[in-house]
């Protein structure tokens, strides 16, 4: 069975690449055996969304803030290893 790949879509105009890359590193370090990868997707318009297996795990627009690494890891764990 293929390992899930997460996507982090971030706003290039807002300069959120470093934040996206840091979260990708955190997720890959924590779930090194469970994840097949993390894809960084450049976007615009203030977007910062994290998706996994077709499910929206985090949206800055919906939540009103960026995720803390701990809470994002919990959401990812709930999806890939419930």
Instruction: Identify the structural domains of the chain with CATH numbers, from first to last.
Output: 5-80 (3.40.30.10)
Structure token digits, residue 57:
């795990």
Neighbours of 9 (CB within 10 A): 18
- Which pLDDT belongs to residue 80? 86
CB-based contact 41:10 (threshold 8 Å) = yes
The predicted model gives 6-17 an average pLDDT of: 98
- Which pLDDT belongs to residue 82? 75
- Of 22-26, 50-54, 66-70, the range with the lowest mean pLDDT is 50-54
pLDDT digits (tens, 9 = 90+) for 12-51: 999 999 999 999 999 999 999 999 999 999 999 999 999 9
Beta bridge partners of 6: 38, 52
């Amino acid at each position: 069975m293929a390992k899930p790949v997460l996507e982090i879509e971030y706003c290039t105009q807002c300069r959120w690449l470093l934040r996206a890359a840091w979260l990708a590193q955190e997720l890959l370090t924590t779930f090194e055996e469970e994840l097949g990868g993390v894809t960084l997707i450049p976007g615009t318009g203030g977007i910062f969304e994290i998706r996994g297996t077709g499910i929206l795990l985090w949206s800055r627009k919906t939540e009103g803030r960026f995720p803390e690494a701990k809470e994002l890891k919990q959401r990812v764990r709930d999806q890939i290893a419930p």
